[in-house]
Chain A
Amino acid sequence: MRTPVSLLSLAALLVASCQAKLSIKAGKATISGADATVTHTVNLEPSKTAQLKLAADETFKMVFTVFDDEKNVDVMPHQAFLRFWDEQTEDEGIVPVKVARDGKARFSMNIRKPPIGLPPTTGDPLKVSLILGSFTYEGAVMPLFDITLPPSGSVPPHPDEASYHPQPEIFHTFRPDQKLPPKPISFVFAAYTLAPWLVLIGFLAKLPISLTPTTKTIPFITCLAAFEGLLIWYWVDLYLGQVLTYGAALGLLTVVAGKRALSA
């Protein structure tokens, strides 16, 4: 019975603590020259945005303390980042800030050895905001200051850059369409191709055979003619499935008729 009660109280505490918001106090930013003399100091407040300028040989240092603004207790957040944002090019960089257990944070930056998360700079001021995150407190994003850094050098082109541009357009040359020969030639050669029929008719007329069908052979010959008709129909209109179905039915008829026609 004790465990559920303690769990309930822990949950209530979490809910209560989640209402508390993180904030910073005693924030100070300094810019010191090459010889370590401080040239510029500014107090950081969550509501005010200071304008800073950092030259190539100068060092930027910042200190602040994170605290819970409800209970006024210094806390260590789980995450603390500085976000550098260029409004013109919409480049963004995130640089983590180390916060000690007592809530005190220190950050320093020198352009000669810039932090890895810094975005490419153009000479326009970068808007810097602090992002705090915590499991037990409500996180906070607060704009701190604008800083103008020296412009970064240009990026060398990637060795594969050239293959990512549009290639020259391909134009295919197609063989011209084949043409039919002129109609008179087609007619003449059609007549030539049908001429062997005349030869066949001549031969059959001369031969002493009877081409008249008898009652025995008529059904078979009709079925064969019907097959030829079915094939011509298939040529102009039918599909394969249909012609095979009709052909199978007609085939049965032909077999029956053929047996009768060819029987002795």
Chain B
Amino acid sequence: MAPPKTHQVSSQSTTTVIQGLWKTYVDDTPSKLKTIDAFLVFIMLSGIMQFVYCVIVTNFPFNAFLAGFSSAVGQFVLTASLRSQVNPLNKDLFKAVNPQRAFADFALGSIVLHFFVYNFLG
């Protein structure tokens, strides 16, 4: 009877761990970071949807697929770097960059990314 019990325990502990992680996240994360996380989830879903379409249906205007997918990837990277720069827990890592400066960089990077994406969209 021992093996099933440990299996049960391990699966139980996995769900417990995940629930604990989620609880900590909801309770301890500042709402600004949660906003950025929501945006990150949105970008990831957009990228996945475009990729699924390309694989299942067609990649016909291939430049359009590349433009859309690369805009999702690029925006994800920019937003993730913004999140790590504005995180209060990382303040010691980014002494020269204050959150306002990080946001300005994020805005500028996004504009430039959008410009290149529109160029490639065709």
A associates with B: yes
Contact surface of A with B, Cβ cutoff 8 Å: 178-181, 185, 189, 192-193, 195-197, 199-200, 203-204, 207-209, 224, 227-228, 231-232, 234-235, 243, 247, 254, 258, 262-264
Decide: A209 and B35 in contact? CB cutoff 8 A: yes
Give the shortest distance, in Å, between B29 (CB) and chain A (any CB). 11
| Size class of the contact patch on chain B | 20 to 34
Decide: A196 and B42 in contact? CB cutoff 8 A: yes
CA of A258 to CA of B102 in the docked complex: distance in angstroms? Answer: 12
Binary per-residue interface labels of chain B (13-47) against chain A in the complex, 1 for a CB within 8 Å, 0 otherwise: 00000000000000000011011001101110110
Residues of the A chain whose Cβ atoms lie less than 8 Å from the Cβ of B57: 181, 185, 189
CA of A108 to CA of B111 in the docked complex: distance in angstroms? Answer: 95
Evaluate whether A181 and B39 lie within 8 angstroms (CB atoms) in the complex, with A195-B49, A207-B31, A224-B107 already known.
no
Residues of the B chain whose Cβ atoms lie less than 8 Å from the Cβ of A262: 100, 103-104
**8 tightest A-B CB contacts, nearest first:** A203-B38, A196-B45, A200-B42, A262-B100, A193-B49, A178-B60, A196-B46, A189-B53
Residues of the A chain whose Cβ atoms lie less than 8 Å from the Cβ of B97: none
**Interface SS of chain A: helix, strand, loop or mixed?**
helix
Decide: B41 and A192 in contact? CB cutoff 8 A: no
Partner of A181, one of B52, B58, B114: B58
Contact residues of B between 84 and 122, Cβ < 8 Å to A:
100, 103-104, 107, 111, 114-115, 118, 121
Name which residue of chain A comes closest to B57, CB basis. Answer: A181
Decide: A258 and B104 in contact? CB cutoff 8 A: yes
15 contacts between A and B (CB under 8 A): A178-B60, A195-B45, A195-B49, A196-B45, A197-B42, A200-B38, A200-B39, A204-B35, A207-B35, A209-B32, A209-B34, A228-B114, A231-B114, A254-B107, A262-B100
CA of A243 to CA of B112 in the docked complex: distance in angstroms? Answer: 12
**Interface SS of chain B: helix, strand, loop or mixed?**
helix
Name which residue of chain A comes closest to B45, CB basis. Answer: A196
Evaluate whether A207 and B104 lie within 8 angstroms (CB atoms) in the complex, with A180-B58, A192-B53, A193-B53 already known.
no
Residues of the A chain whose Cβ atoms lie less than 8 Å from the Cβ of B52: 192
Name which residue of chain B comes closest to A203, CB basis. Answer: B38
Residues of the B chain whose Cβ atoms lie less than 8 Å from the Cβ of A179: 60
B50 located at the interface, meaning its Cβ lies under 8 Å from any Cβ of chain A in the complex: yes
CA of A264 to CA of B31 in the docked complex: distance in angstroms? Answer: 19
Give the shortest distance, in Å, between B27 (CB) and chain A (any CB). 13
Residues of the A chain whose Cβ atoms lie less than 8 Å from the Cβ of B34: 207, 209
CA of A262 to CA of B35 in the docked complex: distance in angstroms? Answer: 18
CA of A178 to CA of B63 in the docked complex: distance in angstroms? Answer: 13
Give the shortest distance, in Å, between A220 (CB) and chain B (any CB). 8
Name which residue of chain B comes closest to A250, CB basis. Answer: B111
Residues of the B chain whose Cβ atoms lie less than 8 Å from the Cβ of A197: 42
Decide: A199 and B45 in contact? CB cutoff 8 A: yes
CA of A121 to CA of B42 in the docked complex: distance in angstroms? Answer: 92
Evaluate whether A203 and B115 lie within 8 angstroms (CB atoms) in the complex, with A181-B58, A258-B104, A262-B100 already known.
no
Partner of B38, one of A178, A207, A254: A207
Residues of the B chain whose Cβ atoms lie less than 8 Å from the Cβ of A264: 100
Evaluate whether A235 and B115 lie within 8 angstroms (CB atoms) in the complex, with A208-B31, A258-B107 already known.
no
Decide: A204 and B103 in contact? CB cutoff 8 A: no
